[in-house]
Chain A
Amino acid sequence: KNEVEQSPQNLTAQEGEFITINCSYSVGISALHWLQQHPGGGIVSLFMLSSGKKKHGRLIATINIQEKHSSLHITASHPRDSAVYICAVSTNTDKLIFGTGTRLQVFP
């Protein structure tokens, strides 16, 4: 069983739609990371959170530690948001444990 599970695996949306990507984890964590991977392969860190909620522009990330669940929301989605969104967790060691990613395509 994967320690970090994401859903959905693939997501298609029309421009302007509100998008939610979910992440569940089964290990104790010190922080949860949301990352964005573009078609060229590069990975960009979007959020790191250990409790509550963070917002950056049209992106919102929430985490519920008791339920071991996090969500990434994109408001007013745009074609440039098309990418793979990856949830990863850090435990009490140095490494990140990654989910399999959610491939998002936003059409005009």
Chain B
Amino acid sequence: EPEVTQTPSHQVTQMGQEVILRCVPISNHLYFYWYRQILGQKVEFLVSFYNNEISEKSEIFDDQFSVERPDGSNFTLKIRSTKLEDSAMYFCASSLLAAANNEQFFGPGTRLTVL
């Protein structure tokens, strides 16, 4: 069964460093998403991506964040200068059609720890 994959599973970085979280969505899916979950809190939407551009972003997704689909299979989330409060579990998801009426498939997550 096709699945969303994410690498790495755990990333430890120093404050101020850049990190890139990688995702491989399900191959025929068209919509891609990043969510984050701070430990003990609910999952929060970061950004959605369709047709090679951001379709929606939350207020969390400031200038420190960027997303890219560099090669037609990978979907990346970059944090330019990490802060302590960026420590969280980051989930990638994909869906065949827009989320409004379509199931999203989630990756296993990347746990980011900023020291």
Chain A residues within 8 Å of B, Cβ to Cβ: 30-31, 33, 35, 40-45, 48, 50, 86, 88, 90-101
Contacts and interface: CB of A to CB of B under 8 A. Distances in A.
B111 A31 contact: no
Interface residues of B, number: 29
26 contacts: A30-B100, A31-B100, A42-B106, A42-B107, A42-B109, A43-B43, A43-B109, A48-B102, A86-B43, A88-B43, A90-B99, A93-B100, A94-B48, A94-B50, A94-B98, A94-B100, A95-B33, A95-B48, A95-B56, A95-B99, A96-B33, A96-B35, A96-B45, A96-B104, A98-B42, A100-B42
A96 B106 contact: no
A94 B31 contact: yes
Contacts, number: 71
B17 to A, nearest CB: 23
A94 B56 contact: yes
Interface in B32-78: 33, 35, 37, 41-45, 48, 50, 55-56, 58
A90 to B, nearest CB: 5
B91 A43 contact: yes
